[in-house]
């Protein structure tokens, strides 16, 4: 799995030299490699996940009426028209995972032209995206009215941002710009939840100010501000990129856990979100393959499936053990039968010293005894002629050529169908029979 995100998504449109942060994972659970490079230098992978930064996506809570699947997008456009700064036709929208018409759900919206440009650039670079995920999403998605609050301090372009996801939505506030100034009490949450410096996709979702406390100034060190958390510590997580964790802790007056960009990318890819919907939807075959790949990765590495994995391994070992036991039993029975045949051969014909193929050697010894006693066998001409005379009394022989169990007989007086019936009768008795220009070639099967 290759997860990537633009390093600076405020650029107008992507080019072959646009830089992306990326993380590579072989099992979808642990980062095996990461870095940042231009589009043309990205590592290859069959499962490419594009992550959209928090400020690229706006979130809206709507009660979607029960409409046909083909009319869902039109219904969303009508419901969100008054909430968006842009024309709904210019936006790409996506519903939360597992949602259905008739429910209250979250809708993600972002600039369609910009997103399509990135998808086309990735496809041109030979890295087509198989999935689109948000960097943060409302934690009440999935039908729950309650959820945890997640704060993420990260560097985007030349700014440091604190993005927050809670049951009330997602928003971002700047903590620092151009490495010098720090945003304080004059910064209103959600005002920078826009796409780029010039175009916006609408106001941020309604988000209660109780998620953060007051902004107060510290003394003696210039215009710095402290952001105090007022949320429940048991349901609140604070993450920060290692390069800015000091600044985040100083401004927010809160301890942050280290979360490198690569680990955050992997965290986003592990979610159930996929913004590739409606006109950006992947083909049914690609979605099916994607679901199978995600399901297998989840089963192979997720902790809740560990007992099932152990049970499956135990079942496989049990089956393999049973199959091997049955194979050993059958092999032992076969060896016992072969030993009995060898003993029968050596007890019946003591002059046979070395046993290589007991059935063949026994047939040869029996034939030799028949010849010595004058008894007719399938190898003798008399036996062939007697069978032909009994089966087809009207057959006449014009020539006979016999040598070492092989006979070439000229047969006349038989129509083609009766000659064919004679061949089949002789073949059923063990002779190898063929006809050629009125001649019947008969050969006894080798013992």
pLDDT at 187 over 50: no
Residue 245, CB-side half-sphere exposure with 13 Å CA sphere = 13
The confidence score (pLDDT) of residue 184 equals 40
pLDDT at 213 over 70: no
What span, in angstroms and rounded, lies between the C-alpha atoms of 281 and 159? 33
pLDDT at 175 over 80: yes
The confidence score (pLDDT) of residue 446 equals 55
Q: Tell me the average pLDDT across 203-215.
A: 31
pLDDT at 420 over 60: yes
Give per-residue pLDDT as tens, 163-172: 999 988 999 8
The confidence score (pLDDT) of residue 395 equals 75
pLDDT at 265 over 90: yes
Contact 130, 49 (CB under 8 A): yes
Q: How confident is the model at residue 366 (pLDDT cuts 50, 70, 90)?
A: confident
The confidence score (pLDDT) of residue 140 equals 76
Q: Worst-scoring range by mean pLDDT, 233-242, 296-305, 325-334, 336-345?
A: 296-305
Q: Worst-scoring range by mean pLDDT, 245-249, 346-350, 375-379?
A: 375-379
The confidence score (pLDDT) of residue 222 equals 32
* Distances in whole angstroms, Cα of residue 205 to Cα of each of 1, 90, 232, 251: 31, 19, 21, 24
The confidence score (pLDDT) of residue 165 equals 93
pLDDT at 108 over 90: yes
Q: Worst-scoring range by mean pLDDT, 44-48, 96-100, 426-430?
A: 426-430
pLDDT cut 70: percent of the chain above it: 76
The confidence score (pLDDT) of residue 434 equals 82
Q: Tell me the average pLDDT across 36-47.
A: 87
Q: Which of 284, 216, 277 is nearest to 251 (CA)?
A: 216
Task: Supply 387's token pair.
Answer: 């069978």
Task: Supply 405's token pair.
Answer: 């169990």
Q: Which residue has the higher pLDDT, 37 or 396?
A: 37
pLDDT at 227 over 60: no
The confidence score (pLDDT) of residue 219 equals 29
| 439 exposure class (CB count in 10 Å sphere: 0-12, 13-18, 19+) | middle
What is the value of pTM for the model shown?
0.56
The confidence score (pLDDT) of residue 359 equals 81
Give per-residue pLDDT as tens, 281-321: 654 445 555 566 666 666 676 678 788 888 888 899 999 98
Q: Which residue has the higher pLDDT, 257 or 385?
A: 257
Contact 349, 355 (CB under 8 A): no
The confidence score (pLDDT) of residue 57 equals 92
Q: How confident is the model at residue 268 (pLDDT cuts 50, 70, 90)?
A: very high
Beta 149-156 vs 159-166: how paired, if at all?
antiparallel
The confidence score (pLDDT) of residue 151 equals 94
Q: Tell me the average pLDDT across 55-73.
A: 88
Q: Which residue has the higher pLDDT, 84 or 171?
A: 171
The confidence score (pLDDT) of residue 152 equals 94
Give per-residue pLDDT as tens, 14-30: 877 888 899 998 877 88
Task: Supply 361's token pair.
Answer: 């050697």
Residue 101, CB-side half-sphere exposure with 13 Å CA sphere = 12
Q: 3-state SS string over the chain?
A: CEEEEECCCCCCCCCCCCEEEEEECCCCCCCCEEEEEEHHHCCCCCCEEEEECHHHCEEEEEECCCCCHHHHHHHHHHHHCCCCCCCHHHEEEEECCCCCCCCEEEEEEEEHHHHHHHHHHHHHCCCCCCEEEECCCCCCCCCCCCCCEEEEEEEECCEEEEEEEECCEEEEEEEEECCCECCCCCCCCCCCCCCCCCCCCCCCCCCCHHHEEEEEECCCCCCCEEEEECCCHHHEEEEECHHHHHHHHHHHCCCCEECCHHHHHHHHHCCCCCCCCHHHCCCHHHHHHHHHHHHHHHHHHCHHHHHHHHHHHHHHHHHHHHHHHHHHHHHHHHHHHHHHHHHHHHHHCCCCCCCCCHHHHHHHHHHHHHHHHCCCCCCCHHHHHHHHHHHCCCCEEEEEEEECCEEEEEEECCCHHHHHHHHHHHHHCCEEEEEECCEEEEEECCC
């Amino acid at each position: 799995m290759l997860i990537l995100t633009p390093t600076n998504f405020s650029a107008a449109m992507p080019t072959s030299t646009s830089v992306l942060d990326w993380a590579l994972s072989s099992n979808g659970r642990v980062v095996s490699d990461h870095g940042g490079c231009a589009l043309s230098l990205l590592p290859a992978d069959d499962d490419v996940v594009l992550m959209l930064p928090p400020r690229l996506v706006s979130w809206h809570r709507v009660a979607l009426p029960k409409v046909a699947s083909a009319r869902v997008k039109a219904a969303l456009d009508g419901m969100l028209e008054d909430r968006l700064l842009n024309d709904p036709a210019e936006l790409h929208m996506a519903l939360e995972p597992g949602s259905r018409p008739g429910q209250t759900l979250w809708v993600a919206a972002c600039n369609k032209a910009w997103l399509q440009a990135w998808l086309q650039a990735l496809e041109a670079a030979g890295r087509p995206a198989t999935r689109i995920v948000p960097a943060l999403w409302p934690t009440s998605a999935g039908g729950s009215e309650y959820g945890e609050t997640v704060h993420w301090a990260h560097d985007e372009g030349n700014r440091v941002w604190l993005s927050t996801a809670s049951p009330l939505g997602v928003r971002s506030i700047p903590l620092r710009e151009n490495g010098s100034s720090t945003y304080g009490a004059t910064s209103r949450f959600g005002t920078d939840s826009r796409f780029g410096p010039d175009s916006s996709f609408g106001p941020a979702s309604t988000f209660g100010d109780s998620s953060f406390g007051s902004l107060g100034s510290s003394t003696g060190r210039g215009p710095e501000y402290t952001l105090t958390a007022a949320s429940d510590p048991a349901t609140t997580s604070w993450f920060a990129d290692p390069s800015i964790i000091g600044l985040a802790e100083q401004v927010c007056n809160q301890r942050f856990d280290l979360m490198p960009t690569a680990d955050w990318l992997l965290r986003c890819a592990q979610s159930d979100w996929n913004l590739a919907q409606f006109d950006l939807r992947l083909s049914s075959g690609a979605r099916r393959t994607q679901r199978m790949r995600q399901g297998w990765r989840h089963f192979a590495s997720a902790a809740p499936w560990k007992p099932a994995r152990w049970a499956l391994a135990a079942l496989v070992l049990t089956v393999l053990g049973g199959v091997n036991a049955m194979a050993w039993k059958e092999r032992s029975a076969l060896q016992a039968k072969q030993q009995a045949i060898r003993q029968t051969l050596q007890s019946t014909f003591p002059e046979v010293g070395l046993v290589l193929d007991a059935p063949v050697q026994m047939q040869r010894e029996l034939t030799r005894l028949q010849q010595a006693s004058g008894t007719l066998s399938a190898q003798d001409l008399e036996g062939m002629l007697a069978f032909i005379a009994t089966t087809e009394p009207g057959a006449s022989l014009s020539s006979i050529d016999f040598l070492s169990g092989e006979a070439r007989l000229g047969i006349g007086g038989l129509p083609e169908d009766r000659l064919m019936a004679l061949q089949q009768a002789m073949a059923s008795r063990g002779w190898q029979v063929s006809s050629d220009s009125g001649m019947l070639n008969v050969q006894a099967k080798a013992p």
